[in-house]
Structure 1
Amino acid sequence: MITKFTIGRRNSGDTWDVSSLASNIKWVTDLNFAAGTFTFDLLFDGSFYPQSGDVVEFQWDEQKIFFGYIFKTTFKDKKFSITAYDKMRYLKNEDSFVWPVSTISDRFDTVCKMAEINHKVINVSDYKLAAEVADSKTYFDMLKSGIDSTQKATNQMYYVFANYDVVELRKAPYNNLDIIIGDQSLLTDFSFEKSIDDAANSVRIIKKNSSESQQTTSTATADSESAGDDPKTTSFAYTDVKAHDILDWGKLQIVENAKDKANNAQMKQRADELLKEKNRETYTLSLDCLGNTSLIAGNSVNLQISELSKAGFYVGNTAIIKATHNFGSDYNCNLEMKVNEPWLENSSSN
């Protein structure tokens, strides 16, 4: 049940208890570099008008759930519909910065100071990121670049999370919950999907030469054109790599232009990297379950879904990528789970 729900002016200190006026309360946490979102409807009783920038605080069963600020308000039929974001919203601010060699922990600390938000590094990274220039980028984009590079190098996934009024840098999974979601525990419905829509099993790295007419190919299988180039003086060098599952999926090819000074070995290395990244099915697992405030993005849970196992897929412990909490008398959650090769074990149903 709601144990605190207030809206207050940011500077004056005036505060209103709106717990008896609110409905359709929804809280969303997402690992995809997005601020936590808190939406609700509010009956208008004439006592006050919510204003942009007002502070929203919400607690459920004495647990601190959301602290943030009103960014959007609509009014219709004597009711306000309000959208508030937590402090990560200020990481959408744009800036330009030259990053020295530094860790993602260092960069997180720097951008939070520039965004003027309370923050804390929970899990420290020692991996040194290369120096780079961020020109007119959001702080989220700056962090994403460093987090992606850190993950590729260390196989450790870092993410940003608003722990009430403090923005934190965490490593996923942050908390391995003892909670079991399954046939006999919390689960009310699920959907599972696998797809090769975004997969590739053939990668071609192309190097354009505008001064020669000769064309060289390493297992070349197709041509490429660039509008505006002179066909008489333009040629391409290709470096291709392929996967065996072309026999199963058909040919799914992507192309990338080589860096200007890349040699054949570097082109081959880049092609191998892209193939490793793209040559895979993607899996989507969505769960509907009874509400629990521990089920937030970044934590992991244990799954026991017999129907899914019977269909040939066993998914055990996996992390929550996105969590939507619907507060009310029927408190429930919608979860999007991280399901990929490290988490998915394909077992035969025969």
Structure 2
Amino acid sequence: MITKFTIGRRHSGDTWNVINLVSDIKWVTDLNFAAGTLTFDLLFDSSFYPQDGDVVEFQWDEQKIFYGYVFKVSFKEDKKFSITAYDKTRYLKNEDSLVWPISTISDRFDTVCKMAEISHKVVNGSDYKLPAEVADNKTYFDMLKSSIDKTQKATNQMYYVLANYDVVELRKAPYNELNIIVGDQSLLTGFSFEKSIDEAANSVRIIKKNQAESQQTSSTSSVSEESSGEDPAKTSFNYTDSIAGNVQDWGKLQKVENAKDKANDAQMKQRADELLKEKNKETYTLSLTCLGDTSLIAGNSVNIQIDDLSKAGFWINNTAIMKATHTFDVDYKCDLEMKVNEPWLENNSSE
């Protein structure tokens, strides 16, 4: 049950207890660099009008669930406000231009949070030194995503950003390996599973463009090439391919990438092999609907025991939550999107 739900002005100190006025509460956490979201309806009360920027605090069964700010308010003929609030990670959508020195993901997380003026904490840091780079006109989320992706590629360890009530944290995934079982005899009320090769590639071609007139190579994309007015008689391409054995099973699914400037044949072949390894795989989607539990949030992992899924040839044991949607009602439930295309990388970490 709701044990706290207040809305308050950010600086005046005025706060309203709206426990008896709220309904249709949904809370979403998502690892895909999206702010935590709380949506709810609020019954009209002439003594109080919600405003953009108001502080929202929500607790369920004495558990601190959400601390954030109103970003959207609508009002309809049913005399209810429909409100969208975001947690503090929303301010990581602020845009900026920065020159990063050689530094770690922990350093960069600390820097952007200070610039966004949000309380934060490095729960799990990394010692891996990222190269210096320029981030021009990018969101702080984009800057962190780039740094996290590079850190994961180098160390085999995934990091993510999530709000822990009113503090934004940098964490290592999985943050908490829950002992909870989501399955036939425990919490589960429904599931769907999908596998796909729609985004896969089993043939990779790295292309270098040669222009006879200038004898230079270019990494310009094909779209800009078509509009550049280049002379077909003076343009040719060199190709470096990497092809997987499962072409006979899936058919040829080809991805093309332009070679970096001055890349030699060996470098082009290395890049083709790397990209093939990355793209030559099925993707899997497992969605679960289960009874509500406040620990089922993005970044934590749970144990899966679904007999029908195993009988259909898919064995999924402990896996991670990528996105969690909690619907707080008389029947409190969760909708979970799980990470099943590859295991968490904790056990293979080189750190």
The TM-score bracket by the shorter chain reads: over 0.9
Structure 1 equivalent of residue 29 of structure 2: 29
- Counterpart CA distance in 2 for 1:89 and 1:200 is 34
Structure 1 equivalent of residue 292 of structure 2: 291
Alignment of 1:1-350 (within 5 A): 1-77=1-77, 78-211=79-212, 226-227=225-226, 228-342=229-343
- Counterpart CA distance in 1 for 2:271 and 2:29 is 34
Q: SS of the counterpart of 1:203? A: strand
Over residues 194-228 of structure 1, what are the superposed CA-to-partner deviations in whole Å (9 max), with x where a residue is unaligned?
Answer: 000000000000000111799xxxxxxxx999423
Q: SS of the counterpart of 2:208? A: strand
Over residues 65-121 of structure 1, what are the superposed CA-to-partner deviations in whole Å (9 max), with x where a residue is unaligned?
Answer: 000000000001211000000000000000000001111000000000000000000
Q: Following TM superposition, by how much is the alpha carbon of 1:16 offset from its aligned partner in structure 2, in angstroms?
A: 0.3
Q: Following TM superposition, by how much is the alpha carbon of 1:47 offset from its aligned partner in structure 2, in angstroms?
A: 1.4
Q: SS of the counterpart of 1:314? A: coil
Contact 1:213 1:234 in 2 (8 A): no
Give the aligned length: 335
| Structure 2 CA distance for partners of 1:241 and 1:176, relative to 1, 3 Å | same
Over residues 9-30 of structure 1, what are the superposed CA-to-partner deviations in whole Å (9 max), with x where a residue is unaligned?
Answer: 0000000011100000000000
> What is the Cα-based RMSD across aligned positions, in Å?
1.6
Contact 1:172 1:298 in 2 (8 A): yes
- Counterpart CA distance in 2 for 1:188 and 1:307 is 13
Q: SS of the counterpart of 2:124? A: coil
Q: SS of the counterpart of 2:233? A: coil
Over residues 15-68 of structure 1, what are the superposed CA-to-partner deviations in whole Å (9 max), with x where a residue is unaligned?
Answer: 001110000000000000000000000000211100000000000000000000
Q: SS of the counterpart of 1:280? A: coil
| Unmatched 5+ stretches in structure 2 | 216-221, 345-351
| Identical-residue share of aligned pairs (%) | 81
| TM-score in terms of structure 1 length | 0.94
Structure 1 equivalent of residue 349 of structure 2: none
Q: SS of the counterpart of 2:110? A: helix
Contact 1:7 1:57 in 2 (8 A): yes
Contact 1:213 1:235 in 2 (8 A): no
Q: SS of the counterpart of 1:97? A: strand
- Counterpart CA distance in 1 for 2:342 and 2:254 is 21
| TM-score in terms of structure 2 length | 0.93
Contact 2:288 2:335 in 1 (8 A): yes
Q: Following TM superposition, by how much is the alpha carbon of 1:281 offset from its aligned partner in structure 2, in angstroms?
A: 0.2
Q: SS of the counterpart of 2:91? A: helix
Contact 2:319 2:343 in 1 (8 A): no
Q: Following TM superposition, by how much is the alpha carbon of 1:178 offset from its aligned partner in structure 2, in angstroms?
A: 0.3
Q: Following TM superposition, by how much is the alpha carbon of 1:341 offset from its aligned partner in structure 2, in angstroms?
A: 3.3
